Amino acid sequence: MADAAKRLFDDLLNIEVNTLVKPGMTGRKMPAIGHAFLDIFSDYDTWLCRRLDPLNERWATFRDGERGRAFLAATLAKGEGELWWVIEGDQLITEVDIVPLFDSRRSLTAKDFDDLRMRARQADEMDRLLGRRSPLAVGDNVMLRRIVGNCDQLRAILDRSSAPGKTATLNRSSADGVEGAAVTELSGDDVITVRKAWEMGTEVVAMQTVIQLDGDFVTRLNEAYTSEERRPIRELHEASVSSALEHWRFLVDTFVSVTTKAIGFLTG
């Protein structure tokens, strides 16, 4: 009970409010964990495939040009291991694979998250090297890094969820979307990680506010949403923060009250 109370208190130490911009919404709640994993993987895979073709075209120009040859020579001089994600033998990789990884008829494992992560990592490095010549939109590099980071976390969760002697496998045909896994044994932190990745998807974060219990207050505003015409979005975010603060105060007061009564009962 003490451990559970500590975890609950740790969760109350800060709140995070995100305002997302999404072209369309279904309004549905997060499905079973296995199907949530599949939704996340499908969203990331689709997002990457839509952007990799023009990136590969621009990369081919760079790779075969003077700048690309100079970069390759400098990289090889430093040692092949330093930029392993853009080196294939003694050549720069030709492209990032654009064949979709997701197929609703195929089962997925932790390795598929590794493959998806690799594509995002390669695309991020290509975008960095191309600089102003990159065809990616402003902010796409942030999404690439989100995919890399979340794939790392989701892969680890999938590994930990595997039942003894089995490998967790994701597929749409299963009621809860997963086989060979003790899904009910996922920790609260793991469930929160999956939920946040599912809810954020590949949407643009317009504004984010993080508030710490000690009073630290940080608001991040996407530069694209600073104009006057985007004021309604900023006002919506402000209203969300106010509502979150009220709910947070209620939870903290409730926790303190319950904890005080429990201590009084145990010591009385």
Give residue 1's pLDDT.
44
- Which tokens hold the place of 214? 């000690």
Handedness of CA 187, 191, 194, 196 (dihedral sign): negative
pLDDT digit string, tens, across residues 129-185: 999 999 999 889 999 999 999 999 999 999 888 878 888 889 998 888 888 877 556
Give me the amino acid identity at 265: F
pLDDT digit string, tens, across residues 237-250: 888 888 877 877 77
Find the mean pLDDT for residues 104-128. 93
d(CA 76, CA 95) in angstroms, rounded, equals 19
Which of 31-35, 104-108, 243-247, 250-254 is least confident? Answer: 250-254
Average pLDDT for the chain: 84
d(CA 98, CA 208) in angstroms, rounded, equals 32
pLDDT digit string, tens, across residues 179-237: 887 755 678 788 889 999 999 899 888 888 888 766 677 888 888 888 888 888 888 88
